[in-house]
A = this chain, B = another copy of it.
Amino acid sequence: MGKNRKLVLAKRPVGPVGPETVSLTEEERPTPGEGEALARVRYLSIDPTIRTWMNDLPGYLPPIGIGEVVRSAGIAEIVESRSDRYPVGSLGFGLVGWQEYLLCGEGAAELQLLASGLDPLLAVNLFGVTGMTAYFGLLEVGALAPGDLVVVSGAAGATGSTVGQLARAKGAGRVIGIAGGPEKCAFVTGELGLDACIDYKSEPVEKRLAEEAPGGIDLYFDNVGGPLLDAALAHLALRGRVVLCGAIASYNATSRPAGPANYSNLISRRGRMEGFIVLDYAARYEEAALALAGLLGEGRLKHFEHVVHGLESAPSALNLLFEGGNTGKVVVAL
Give A residues with C-beta under 8 Å from B: 58-60, 225, 230, 244-247, 250, 256-277, 280
Contacts and interface: CB of A to CB of B under 8 A. Distances in A.
A243 to B, nearest CB: 10
B267 A261 contact: no
26 contacts: A58-B268, A225-B264, A230-B259, A244-B266, A245-B267, A250-B264, A258-B258, A258-B259, A259-B259, A259-B261, A259-B263, A260-B263, A264-B275, A265-B275, A267-B275, A268-B277, A270-B276, A270-B277, A271-B274, A271-B275, A272-B272, A272-B273, A272-B274, A272-B275, A273-B274, A274-B274
B273 A280 contact: no
A276 B260 CA distance: 18
Contacts of A269: 275
| Number of chain copies forming the complex | 2
Nearest to A263: B259
Contacts of A262: 259
A247, A262, A274 pick with most chain B CB within 10 angstroms: A274
A249 to B, nearest CB: 10
A272 to B, nearest CB: 4
Closest 8 CB pairs of A and B: A259-B259, A267-B275, A266-B275, A259-B261, A259-B260, A272-B274, A273-B273, A247-B264
Contacts of A257: 261
Contacts of A274: 266, 270-274
Given A58-B268, A258-B261, 8 more contacts: A259-B263, A263-B273, A264-B275, A267-B275, A267-B277, A270-B276, A270-B280, A271-B275
A232 to B, nearest CB: 13
A268 B230 contact: no
Contacts of A246: 267
A59 B280 CA distance: 36
A209 to B, nearest CB: 15
Contact of A244 (B60, B264, B277, B280): B264
Contact of A270 (B247, B263, B275): B275
